[in-house]
Each structure stands twice: as structure tokens, then as C-alpha cells.
Amino acid sequence: MRKMRTFKCMICIILLASFFQLCISFKEDKITELPGQPPVSFQQFSGYVTVDEKNKKFLFYYFVEAQIDPSTKPLVLWLNGGPGCSSLGVGALSENGPFRPSGDVLVRNECSWNREANMLYLESPIGVGFSYSADFSSYHGVSDKITARDNLMFLRKWFVKFPQYINTSLFMTGESYAGHYIPQLAELMLEVNKKEKLFNLKGIAIGNPVLEFATDLNSRAEYFWSHGLISDNTYELFTSACNYSRYVSEYYRGSSVSPICYRVMNLVSKETSRFVDKYDVTLDVCISSVLSQSKALLTPQQVSESVDVCVEDKTVNYLNRRDVQKALHARLVGVSKWLVCSEVLDYELLDIEIPTIKIVGKLVEAGLPVLVYSGDQDSVIPLTGSRRLVHGLAQNLRLNTTTPYRVWFAGMQVGGWTQVYGDILTFATIRGAAHEAPFSQPERSLVLFKAFLGGRDLPETF
């Protein structure tokens, strides 16, 4: 009997120690205040989760609770693409987070997605932003498979830090190469759930995503030509002599680019001009950024008042401040400065050829709602390729159209167009939006996000 009591006491001590450690970790990650931020009522957290003890791999996250009643709101994981670009710097500070940098201060983003959800931004994979490894070999040969595994481990351990969110409805969103990250992570989560029921995953939304290499990349030619960015002659060469998927494949394989592809790409680059933002062909460029790349003399330029096209420069300046890094509990390891997209990460770039549209199909068959949306001014991953892929997937899965192709509204303006298949697979465009849709069309993106979380159709009238 004494041994039994002793054993129970030991268990209690272990549990209390674990709880105490959890409280310390939770407290250490809480952000008191970011330098220059306006007053807010919601809580913010940031810090590290160890995803690989052996190789000392640490993923950095930034978490903002919902502005009102966070306990009743869903949890949303946001991933930026690249591969190798920051969810903190791009997603949180340039797109849909609560603040945007402006000079030395932060200003409120009135269309922040934490109006509707608890937002979790993850800098992934290792080597991106503030995420790091003590073993520098971890930055080489990073693949989709490694990234999905690390992100899954991150979520497992993050829920240990924040157990109050374990049963919360979980959604995953992101853009660009997140068209690889998110479906692959969702597939792993569904596999885990067969044994553990750990993740309360309710849906995924991916913007301007890479889903099928050739279809997505080769749609650029038609987009450039239809928007007047290239000549008839260059369009013909771009579609017959050397399409974009062939050029990328040659380039990524390390072999010399064929003379015809070299010639075609030079023509495309010359005609589209470096002074046009390929991520939004109608948006002005940040002149200081474009000219600094060629070390040219800078001159003041007028830019749009509604969209800060120099927000990336401001974000870089802000996140490289020592006081900001201290407030975020962040550190730079193996790099001298924080960058929007990693220069130390060596990703298996040929993984881009993995057709994740097939994984999206498996998710839909498993009953998981999927939204594919496109900012319609993006020439990098144009809407035409995404629309073709979603429609083809619906046909393969024999999903009937449940919402015919139609406009949707944000306020009293057309927000974009949408079509729904089988009440589970949705395609939508965001009118006037860039590759990073919430950056250039924050109001319309928020309307789409809110409808996605609520499982509702996009507004048909205003």
C-alpha cells in the first residue's frame, strides 16, 4: 500500500512539473507589446517550437488571438510559400495580420483576419525568417516530405503549449507554394486522425496555389499576352518554342538552359519589363526596391495611396530592429539579418513538379471542404490555370456544379467570381487582387475568408 501511495505521489509530481513547465513556456511566449504598436485588447504570442531534438531544429511562430471572444473562434494556420518565404513578414505584416509597418511604428490593419479567427503564422521550413537549426546541414536538401513532417510536429507540440485550442475548429490557409505545403500537411493530419483523433481539421483554403506544375506555369503565356504584356510573336514562341515549365525544369535541373529557352525568356523579360510587378500586373512597383537591385540612383516616386507597395521594405527594416526581435522572443542564428525569403535554405526545387492537385482530390473525397482562390491580377500563378485544374478535378470526382459560375459581392462592388462543386470544392477569384490577395484587396479577401470559415456561399447580392 505504501508503495502504491509513493507511486501515485510520483505521478502527481511529474504532472505538476509538466504543468508548471507549460505555464512557464506559455508565459515566456506572451508578447507584452510590439514596438510602435497601437493599443489592442487581444493577446499575442511568439516564440519557438522544437520540431527535431536531435538536429536542434526550431520553428518560429507568431500567434494572435481573435479580437473578440477568442474561445468561440476557430484556429487558422497560415503558411506562405516560396518555398522559403516568411509567414510573419509576408502573411502577418503585409497581408492579413493585425498590423502593418509604417515608418517606425505599426498601424492597425482594419481588415485583419483575427477579426474572425485566432491566427497562427508559422515560419516554415527551417531556415526561413527566424526559424533555424543549430545543425546547418539541416538547411540542405529540404523537401516537401521533410517540410510536411516538421510542420506536423510543430502542430503537435504547439497544442501542448496551447491546450485550450486542441478541440477548436482548425482551418489551414496560405498561398503560392503553400499549394504544396497545405494539402500535404492536411493529408498527414488525416492519417494521424485515423489513430489519435488529434486534429479537428475543418477545411483548407489556398490562394494562387501551385497545384500542377505544367498547367500552372504555362498559363503565364496566355496571361501575359491577354493583358498586353508581350507581343504576338513572343506569345507564339512562348507557347511553341519554349514554354515556361520547360524553362524552369531545365533551370532547376542544373543543366544549361537551351539556347531557344534562353532566347524566349530574354524576350519575355524585356517586354514585360522589370518595372511591372508580376505578382500584380496593374499595381505600381516600389521604385526604391526595383532600382536598388541594379544599384541605380534612387528618385522619389508617387505610389498608390490605398496600397503601400513599399511595405516589404518597411517590414524588413522593422523586423531587423533589436527591440522588435526582443519583443518577439526571436533570434538570428547563422544569418546576419532577417530576410523576407531565405538565402540559406536549399530546397529540393524539383518538388514543384509533384502534382498536389491529386492530394486535394483525396482530401475532398475524405469529406474535407477545399477552397482554391485566385487574385485575378497575378501573372505568376494565374487564375486560368487554377480554374482549369479545379474544374478538371471536379469532373474526375464526378462532382456536380452546385453553385453555377457567378459574381460575388463585397460591400456594393463585385468582389470576384465563384463556382462550387458538390458543396465541398470551391473556386473563387478576388477581383483586382494580387498574388498575395489580402495585401492588395484586404476588404474583399476578408469577405471571402469569413464565408469560408462559416461554410457559407459568397454573397450573391449587396
DSSP per-residue letters across 254-304: TSPPPHHHHHHHHHHHHHH-TTS-TT-TTSPP-HHHHHHTTTPPP------
Q: Are 303 and 383 in the same domain? A: no
What's the pLDDT score for residue 5?
56
Model confidence band, residue 290 (pLDDT cutoffs 50, 70, 90): low
What's the pLDDT score for residue 297?
30
221-230 long-range contacts, CB within 8 A, separation 24+: 222/382, 222/384, 223/379, 223/382, 223/384, 224/268, 224/272, 224/379, 227/281, 227/379, 229/271, 229/272, 229/276, 229/281, 229/379, 230/267, 230/268, 230/271, 230/272
Q: Are 306 and 233 in the same domain? A: yes
- Span 229-238, average pLDDT: 96
Residue with cell 510536411: 148
Residue 87 maps to a domain: no
140: three-class secondary structure by DSSP: strand
CA distance 422 to 50: 40
The string of pLDDT tens digits covering residues 373-402 is 999 999 999 999 999 999 999 999 999 999
* CB of 378 closer than 8 Å to CB of 434: yes
Residue 158 maps to a domain: no
Residue 117 maps to a domain: no
Residue 204 maps to a domain: no
Beta bridge partners of 408: 416
| Residue 20 in this model has a pLDDT that exceeds 80 | no
The residue ranking higher by pLDDT, 282 or 1, is 282
What's the pLDDT score for residue 27?
79
CA distance 290 to 297: 11
Mean pLDDT estimate for the chain? 90
| Residue 224 in this model has a pLDDT that exceeds 90 | yes
How many CB atoms are closer than 10 A to CB 26?
Answer: 16
Residue 199 maps to a domain: no
Residue 339 maps to a domain: no
What's the pLDDT score for residue 306?
61
Model confidence band, residue 355 (pLDDT cutoffs 50, 70, 90): very high
Residue with cell 507540440: 157
Q: What is the CATH number of the domain that holds 414?
A: 3.40.50.11320
Cα three-residue angle 95-140-125, rounded to 5 degrees: 25
The residue ranking higher by pLDDT, 309 or 73, is 73
Q: Which amino acid is at 418?
A: T
| Residue 228 in this model has a pLDDT that exceeds 50 | yes
Lowest mean pLDDT among 136-140, 359-363, 381-385: 136-140
What's the pLDDT score for residue 289?
61
Beta bridge partners of 142: 347
- Of the three residues 313, 334, 349, the one that is the final residue of a domain is 313
Q: Which residues are part of the catalytic machinery?
A: 176, 378, 435
Domain of residue 377 covers: 370-454
The string of pLDDT tens digits covering residues 186-204 is 999 999 999 989 999 999 9
- Span 103-109, average pLDDT: 93
Q: Are 233 and 299 in the same domain? A: yes
Residue 153 maps to a domain: no
Q: Are 382 and 296 in the same domain? A: no
- Of the three residues 267, 283, 313, the one that is the final residue of a domain is 313
| Residue 23 in this model has a pLDDT that exceeds 80 | no
Count helices and strands (H / E) in the chain.
Answer: 14, 15
| Residue 302 in this model has a pLDDT that exceeds 90 | no
| Residue 255 in this model has a pLDDT that exceeds 50 | yes
* CB of 382 closer than 8 Å to CB of 419: no
Cα three-residue angle 232-236-240, rounded to 5 degrees: 175
What's the pLDDT score for residue 283?
80
What's the pLDDT score for residue 298?
30
What's the pLDDT score for residue 300?
28
Lowest mean pLDDT among 177-186, 298-307, 335-344: 298-307
Model confidence band, residue 237 (pLDDT cutoffs 50, 70, 90): very high
| Residue 287 in this model has a pLDDT that exceeds 90 | no
Lowest mean pLDDT among 131-145, 226-240, 249-263: 249-263
Total domains present in the chain: 3
**Beta-strand pair 105-108/99-102:** antiparallel
| Residue 331 in this model has a pLDDT that exceeds 80 | yes
Residue 350 maps to a domain: no
